[in-house]
Amino acid sequence: MNASSYLKHRKIKSSEDTKNVIQIALIAIVLMVIAAILSKGVFLQPRNLMNLIFQNGILILIALAQLLVIIVSGIDLSVGAIMAMSSILIVLYQDAGSGAAILIALGASMVFGAVSGSLVTFKRLPSFVVTLAMMQIVYSLAQVLSGGAAVYSGFQGATISEGFTTYYLGSVMGIPNVILTCIIVIILVSRFLRTSYGHFAYAIGGNEKTAYFSGIPVERVKVTVYILAALLAGLAAVIFVGRVGMGDPRAGQWLPLDSIAAVTIGGASLSGGVGSVAGTVIGVLILGTLTNIMNLMGVPPTIQPAVKGIVIILAVYLNSRKKN
Amino acid sequence: MDLAKRMKDAGTWISNRSGPIALAVLLFYGFFFVGNFSTETNLTAILLQYSIIGCLALGQLIVILTGGIDLSQGSQIALATVVCAVVMSRFGVIPGIIMALLIPTMVGFSTGLLVSRLKMPAFIVTLGMLGVSRGLAMRIANARPVSINIDGFKQFGYATLLRIPVAAIIFGIAAILVLYLLKKRKLGRYLYAVGSSEESTRLSGVNIMKVKLFAYTASGFLTAVGGVLLAARLGSGSPIGGSGYELESIAAVVVGGGSLFGGIGGVGGTVSGVFLFGVINSILNLTGIPPFWQGTMKGLIILAAVALSQMRKKSRNGA
């Protein structure tokens, strides 16, 4: 199978993906109905649904980053660290203006992604270990830069631009900016997955050797995917800075595992080659709805991680049983 | 040519023992060039702290050998300390220790059931169990640290026997038992076999379900042992403690030459991996390098270790 016939094959396969997504969506709908009943309808009000996306904006971006890496049968434990580093850089370079600061932060994020991607691709090191090491390194560099504590102002003392808060709280035509950002990123990522590079990514995740012998530029695609994932993680820091008004060298420690959970609940396989944007977004929403339901039912926050854990196992069990 | 071959053999010999050799080099550096490194206080501190992570790493090793992974260790150690503290203050020391050992073992057993019977990916199951154990620990402790008021038990956390911390002795015994299991028992060899090729192991008539079930249960038990030691050292049960320990234990196994694809790894490497991190942290602290750099050092060591083991694999394939 060469690269172009693979693309045709991929189109047939995408109908399977649609079925997959529908099943996950069903789980999400059931959960939402439960939430609606428990909250006597409040849950389904547009404002509440918007809140759900709003609160999970960061996780949506990070989960999409994770999805890209998981599709090429990797895993990225450094997403949280890269977001933390990016938040530090955004704040520290405020003297140069917010735009420049964001560009610097995104550039640095992409460099980290490129390093992980190259080590995984060219040196053939396992992505789990590489990104685990990268996570340690990036968190530690973020602490070196910030002196170990949260930062509120730039190197030369410029305070964080009002723009971040305005962006975070603002909206265009009634749709909050955070949600708009998520929608744009969702569209861009699904566009990317429909380009030839995207299809190649699925092929590599399915079987790297076959992909290579089909003439797919495996190395270029893999490195690109890691860079894009890091870029998304860096971008999430913009929302983060808008929300908390600081750069935090310890931010996002729960993000790697939560994003992996969301992606796998969304039907992706950790062995690669399977997974969709829609599924991933629904996966994030399922986790978010679950928290909402538990709060509505008055489940004490202490036991909530346990329920979440059981739901992760159940969701993946249902998915895997269907495949067998 | 003979010389070239001998050089190559020496190279393989060294790269196969990279973990212990790196540890020996660092220890040498520490003893002779870093003031206060060789003091009894410092060495005891390293042993006390890293014996606990060592117990986790032994469990992680057993799981990784089968090609699995255990992400729930960090939460399980928190669960163990909390159970230990709560039961101990009501029913006494012995029931406390027994329950603290029992509950994570049971969590590990159920992980094993899910992974082996339902053929679910270990990564997801243990990720779920990470949540379950953390939730249980938080619920039991009501999200607050539970203090232990039994002095004898707290002293046990710092006790020494012939100037060696008891915690380190317990870890040593555990390491020897795991070594014996892996080298001399059939079950231990099966662990390697399952990790190398599950299918051919199954076809040769090994009950791989039992092997996997054992691996996760053992990981739960060894984590629990670490939990009891941690509870004794802290003098309390901490429901938020231990987060990230699972990554430390995985790093130790990998730095010790273990492969996340299964089938490769050993006790010697793992133990040296554990103390490699301990010694480096200690040297960095004593030489006054800001603690923020520790993560960078750690990360670079992990990368160097995997790169080395990758080279080893390549040379083995080439031979």
> Is A227's pLDDT higher than 90?
yes
Q: In the structure, what pLDDT confidence band is assigned to residue A27 with cuts at 50, 70 and 90?
A: confident
pLDDT greater at residue A45 or residue B91: B91
Q: Does A290 touch chain B (CB under 8 A)?
A: no
Note the pLDDT tens digit of each residue in B221-277: 999 999 999 998 888 888 888 888 888 899 899 888 888 888 888 898 899 889 988
Q: From the list A132, A270, A300, which residue is nearest B247 (CB)?
A: A132
Which residues of chain B lie closer than 8 angstroms to A302, CB-CB? 135, 138-139, 142-143, 239
Instruction: Out of A39-43, A282-286, B27-31, B223-227, pick the least confident.
Output: A39-43
Identify the DSSP state of A158.
P
The pLDDT value given to residue B318: 41
Given an 8 Å threshold on Cβ–Cβ distance, is B306 in contact with A261? no
Q: Which ipTM was obtained for this model?
A: 0.82
Q: Identify the helix (H) or strand (E) that includes residue B22.
A: helix B18-33
Rounded to 10 degrees, the C-alpha dihedral B240/B242/B244/B250 comes to -150
pLDDT of residue B42: 82
Between B183 and B92, the more confident residue is B183
Q: Give yes or no for residue A12 having a pLDDT over 60.
A: no
B240 has a chain A CB within 8 A of its CB:
no
pLDDT band at residue B3 using 50, 70 and 90 as cut-offs:
confident
A318–B contact, CB cutoff 8 A: no
Mention every residue, 6+ apart, whose C-beta is less than 8 A from residue B211. B66, B187, B190, B191, B194, B201
Greater confidence, B292 or A237? A237
pLDDT, tens digit, 9 for 90 and up, residues B92-138: 888 888 988 999 999 999 999 999 888 888 888 998 899 899 888 98
Specify whether the CB–CB gap between A260 and A70 falls below 8 A. yes
Write the CB contacts of A288 (distance below 8 Å, at least 6 apart in sequence). A52, A55, A56, A59
Smallest Cα distance from A175 to chain B, Å: 33
B295 in contact with chain A, both atoms CB, cutoff 8 A: yes
Pairing verdict, β B146-147 and B236-237:
antiparallel
Model-level pTM? 0.86
Residue in A77, A88, A136 to test binding to B, most B beta-carbons within 10 Å = A136
Query: Which helix H or strand E contains B147, and what residues bound it?
Result: strand B146-147
Taking 60 as the threshold, does the pLDDT of residue A9 lie above it? Answer: no
B239, B292, B310 ranked by CB distance to A144: nearest = B292
A151 backbone dihedrals φ, ψ, rounded to 5°: -115, 140
Interface mutation target, options B292, B312, B315, chain A, most CBs of A under 10 Å: B292
Please write the tens of the pLDDT for every residue from A161-204. Answer: 888 888 888 888 878 888 899 999 999 999 999 999 999 999 99
pLDDT per residue over A119-131, tens digit each? 999 988 889 889 9
Structure tokens at A131: 């990104």
Buried b (16+ CB within 10 A) or exposed e, B82-107: bbbbbbbeeeebeebbebbbbbbbeb
Residue A321, pLDDT > 70, answer no
Cβ distance of A302 and B143 shorter than 8 Å: yes
B274–chain A nearest CA distance, Å: 15
What is the rounded CA–CA span in Å between residue B175 and residue A199? 47
Mind listing the pLDDT tens digit for each residue in A81-111?
999 999 999 999 988 888 899 999 999 999 9
**What is the torsional sign of CA A186, A188, A192, A195?**
positive
Cβ contact (<8 Å) for B302 and A136? yes
As beta bridge partners, residue A171 has A176
Q: What's the CA gap between A318 and B120, in Å, rounded?
A: 10
Contacts of A27 (CB under 8 A, 6+ apart): A286, A315, A318
User: Between chains, do B135 and A264 touch, taking CB under 8 Å as contact?
Assistant: no
- Calculate the average pLDDT of chain A: 86
Number of Cβ pairs < 8 A linking chain A and chain B: 143
Q: How far is B311 from chain A (nearest CA, A)?
A: 9
Q: Which of B118, B290, B299 comes nearest A317 by C-beta? A: B118
Taking the Cβ of residue B154 and every Cβ of chain A, the question of whether any pair is shorter than 8 Å is answered with no
Chain B residues near residue A120 by CB distance under 8 angstroms: none
pLDDT digits (tens, 9 = 90+) for A129-168: 899 999 999 999 999 999 888 988 888 877 888 888 888 8
Alpha-carbon span B85 to A256, nearest angstrom: 31
Report the percent of chain B where pLDDT is more than 90. 26
Of B256, B281, B258, B283, the residue nearest B271 (C-alpha):
B256
Lowest mean pLDDT among A7-11, A180-184, B62-66, B191-195: A7-11
pLDDT band at A324 (very low <50, low <70, confident <90, very high): very low
Which amino acid appears at position B275 of this protein? F
User: Coil, strand, or helix at residue A191?
Assistant: helix
User: Does A316 lie at the interface with B, CB-CB under 8 angstroms?
Assistant: yes
Q: Would the pLDDT of A16 be above 70?
A: no
Are the C-beta atoms of A256 and A135 separated by less than 8 Å?
A: yes
Dihedral over alpha carbons A126, A128, A130, A133 (to 10 degrees): -150
